Structure 1
């Protein structure tokens, strides 16, 4: 078993560690500042899987009566630094804490510091962690290559902090995440059968899109990223609604879409899109908790709508392994990039 697959299978345990290590008191102090109107906006930023892991937190924070801005760190660094005000809560995300864009942002804001800088990070000795006013350590341990444990744990810690900051019940959320860890472990115990099932569902295809909306968007982006990294497969990740605005023209025999059912708001329009793709000659693999008789389905566990990304990412990790083997690569082994990106 290679290191990438070992990291995938280790996720339930590392997730449990992260949830149990959540820094309640420190985030509680930040929540009090927010309640006292000490911030005029929240800016969340990261790169790659770290940015994807910030998306559900940004959605949760949108319940607040102040602007919530989610930005790629290269864009923030080069074009949007003026958005950082003396009353900004700046929340930066980097599993290594050493990505070039994040390090450069830290240097730039020395000239005009925000009110508070928070860092979601795995490495406590990194420049990002040392510069932050509040460190949210994701407790993922060492990771070999492609982001799996670090993505899962950052997703969890970010969501817990966002729920905490919006005044909702963070302790109940922690309990639910521990149940997620248990359900994940059960799913991963049958890992080889899941790989076989997904490989069969995929069959032969020429073009593949990963589609979803709402809470599934982080997984859409994450899936498209890790299949490129881990399997050298050029798959497209698209918002399901955006797919109708042009890319639908690509559908024909040989086209395959992996479509996340999503939450109650997303499921109905996603189901209509699935039928349209089939009608135009394409193949759809439906990913959700329930099967549909007329849609090939890859079933995943379910606990609650906001927990769905933790289960949706599992078939994306399986897809990366299946496609690596099809393409003749060892899953998760880098050729050109490293664990840390040091050149912008």
Structure 2
């Protein structure tokens, strides 16, 4: 997760910008930089690697400006070089950016035709030149940014300063968080309130679609329609050692809403966004020669592995064996030569998963682990550790870690398919392009609060809930049921929709809500027939689908409208509504959402 900071200060801000960036180091990064306004000009200093390299550069070439922005970058478009490091700038504007600009190629082509010269491989530079182009037309900085934002597609957070403007900074968010800090004659900007803790505890969190004009006297905030609006100033409790809830009621809510950001950075670690190709690390095994993939995990991570089974078998045409680690470790499964064993764990310390890893390693499997903690035992004992960039996940019920695990597994499926020649270059580009759109779609899903609140009010009255799905939606149904029972304590079960007639249909009556995960894919018509069976028995259907409700052949009690997307990325997107349903239901009931009874974040004993 990239880190963004900005300061409108009373004196030189360079050292404070670096200190603020240091508080965001937990997010991970591969380069850093700052830019300030110096005598009406924009000046910047950048460096590859850690912040100490930037500090050394600043000792050699200090900056004295009172207005500045800073950035720690995790490479997405372009290699982690100084040339690609943020801030990016022209002689008129400098920008730091977190997220993915999906239409940067189109913007770049149009701007180059107008004579703009691009110096980097990044998507961010398109934003810089787009704003510059608007300034060249005679627009003032505020109008230029407002017009530029209308042309950007994707999920992003932006911090912007201008030549000749010592008392101006503009911020914008769409899918990635930003917080404004209020001081006395000073203003601050950060992608996390933690970065601002040394300077102020008065924080305003921008809401989805907001953009803000910061001056030392305060901030003017505009909503996504461009209407002036007010956002509350709250007193934040944050330190370099504390991940706070921000303006969210629970960590789980914050972590659900962080998914556009963390998914984008996880994807960027395994994809070349500029060329729409997979860029997977060496696993020490020829992917073209893999005889079988064995996946093992526990809980939510196991369901991520189940989705991967569908992806790898469909696109890479390699057989996949998957089992929960607590079972696989005891059944002494025979393992083939040239096998790849993949282990999924948020903490990297899950006892059963670790024991199964050691069994597979003893049976000469190549070991790859998908973990959120790179220094964990599972990561250290693997031949290759594939990190998720979810950042700290405090809520016991996994949310952002799950979608980041899915992101890595999707990239792994493409990598194996590509190595085996099971997909064409055109198919690879199509799959990668679909993945790059995921953060934007998640951000849109997160804006539909009303429907989730309505569904939760009804579910909170239920004693039993069924979840149904087909194909790669079946594991999402399982995950939905797990989330609901984890934090609301309502009994819930997930089933393959085709299994409905083989037993679960006996449970259905007017008191049993049935949540159906049903993207309009090749299996949709089959799922519709199951919906009609539920409707005929009085079941309350909650349909999560991109299809129109009338296509269901019945009238659902609630319909959660999903975006039209490539079916490949459906599990990543449909994971979000089932998280929101569980969260809002638990809040309605009044349970301890972040620390549900009897559960621990990491299960380190058998």
Does TM, scored on the shorter chain, surpass 0.5? Answer: yes
What secondary structure is seen at the aligned counterpart in 2 of 1:265? coil
User: 2:505 aligns to what?
Assistant: 248
Partners of 1:196 and 1:137 lie apart in 2 by 34
1:69 pairs with 321, 324, 338, which one?
321
Partners of 2:598 and 2:455 lie apart in 1 by 28
Partners of 2:412 and 2:360 lie apart in 1 by 23
User: 2:561 aligns to what?
Assistant: 299
User: 1:326 aligns to what?
Assistant: 588
Closer/same/farther in 2, CA of residues 203 and 225 from structure 1, 3 Å limit: closer
1:195 equivalent to 2:195? Answer no
User: 2:517 aligns to what?
Assistant: 260
User: 2:468 aligns to what?
Assistant: 211
1:22-75 Cα deviation digits (max 9, x unpaired): 17787364597132x3x3321111111111112222112214455321111112
Partners of 1:286 and 1:252 lie apart in 2 by 17
User: 2:263 aligns to what?
Assistant: 15
How far did 1:150 drift?
Answer: 0.4
What secondary structure is seen at the aligned counterpart in 1 of 2:472? helix
How far did 1:189 drift?
Answer: 3.2
User: 1:227 aligns to what?
Assistant: 484
Q: Give the TM-score of the pair, scaled to structure 1.
A: 0.91
How far did 1:92 drift?
Answer: 1.1
Partners of 1:135 and 1:158 lie apart in 2 by 13
Q: How many residues are aligned here?
A: 339
User: 2:389 aligns to what?
Assistant: 139
Structure with higher strand content: 2
Partners of 2:457 and 2:600 lie apart in 1 by 32
Partners of 2:527 and 2:282 lie apart in 1 by 40
Partners of 1:190 and 1:213 lie apart in 2 by 24
Partners of 1:54 and 1:301 lie apart in 2 by 24
User: 1:173 aligns to what?
Assistant: 431
Alignment of 1:22-101 (within 5 A): 22=270, 27=280, 29-30=282-283, 33-35=286-288, 37=289, 39-63=290-314, 64=316, 66-80=318-332, 82-101=333-352
Closer/same/farther in 2, CA of residues 301 and 197 from structure 1, 3 Å limit: farther
How far did 1:174 drift?
Answer: 3.5
Partners of 1:189 and 1:281 lie apart in 2 by 31
1:122 equivalent to 2:368? Answer no
Partners of 2:538 and 2:482 lie apart in 1 by 26
1:132-178 Cα deviation digits (max 9, x unpaired): 11211111110012111100000011011111111145554333223
1:55-107 Cα deviation digits (max 9, x unpaired): 22211221445532111111211113x42244221111111110011221233
Closer/same/farther in 2, CA of residues 28 and 107 from structure 1, 3 Å limit: closer
Partners of 2:572 and 2:594 lie apart in 1 by 20
Q: Give the TM-score of the pair, scaled to structure 2.
A: 0.53
Closer/same/farther in 2, CA of residues 311 and 110 from structure 1, 3 Å limit: closer
1:309 equivalent to 2:584? Answer no
Pick 1 or 2: higher relative contact order, CA cutoff 8 A, min separation 6: 1
Gapped regions of structure 2 (runs ≥ 5)? 1-248, 273-277
What secondary structure is seen at the aligned counterpart in 2 of 1:136? strand
Closer/same/farther in 2, CA of residues 23 and 95 from structure 1, 3 Å limit: farther
1:193-236 Cα deviation digits (max 9, x unpaired): 23323236658544310111102012111111111222222211
Q: More deviation in 171-180 or 333-342?
A: 171-180
What secondary structure is seen at the aligned counterpart in 1 of 2:563? coil
What secondary structure is seen at the aligned counterpart in 2 of 1:43? strand
Q: More deviation in 84-93 or 221-230?
A: 84-93
CA contact (8 A) 1:194 1:318 kept: no
